[in-house]
Structure 1
């Protein structure tokens, strides 16, 4: 089964980029398709919410919903964003700020394996 994960990324996105410290104002989102525990596709999209002074979280959430994301990773999620993610059926996975996107995905897959 394919699942799409979005990692809030600091700069240009991609597996080698770093995880952004905040979800709503991340510069980009690295979208990663996972199937049977393997990365099958990586795509980067700009976060239209990054440039807003207020309300960046809801804009980011809508962007990810529109891109069929099911799991979201970031170092920090605000309370309103957390509520909205839950309301839209997206799961949060909190990761350490500044680690690589690739490491965040590895940590997620390792944790998921242990839960079975």
Structure 2
């Protein structure tokens, strides 16, 4: 399972970003059962986008093979894209 978390830039030890489309980075976590196999921190290529940041971020997450996405919030366009792709969205705050 691949889990992608919108973070403020620091990976697993960082807080979850309150926004998805313009979060500074994504923690990309590969997990099997309850065990974390690999973690990668990838800068969000759409963090500085003037328009369409959410759609671009959703496309990036899909290109990375996400099964689950975690963020403080998902906009309506992002939600639609991820839902159509079968990605489970979890809204949460904090670490």
Q: TM-score range by the shorter chain?
A: over 0.9
Which has the higher Rg, Structure 1 or Structure 2?
Answer: 1
How far apart are residue 73 of structure 1 and its match? 0.1
Of 21, 35, 56, which aligns to 2:18?
21
How far apart are residue 37 of structure 1 and its match? 1.2
For residues 93 and 28 of structure 1, what CA distance do their matches in structure 2 show?
Answer: 17
Unaligned 5+ residue runs, structure 1? 101-116
* Larger fraction in helix: 1
User: Which stretches of structure 1, 4 residues or more, deviate above 6 A after TM superposition?
Assistant: none
Match of 1:78 in 2: 75
Match of 1:110 in 2: none
Instruction: Give the superposed CA RMSD.
Output: 0.9
Match of 1:6 in 2: 4
- TM-score, normalisation: structure 1: 0.78
How far apart are residue 34 of structure 1 and its match? 1.1
- TM-score, normalisation: structure 2: 0.94
* Larger fraction in strand: 2
Q: Aligned pairs, how many?
A: 95
1:1-116 aligned at under 5 Å gives the runs 3-11=1-9, 13-96=10-93, 99-100=94-95
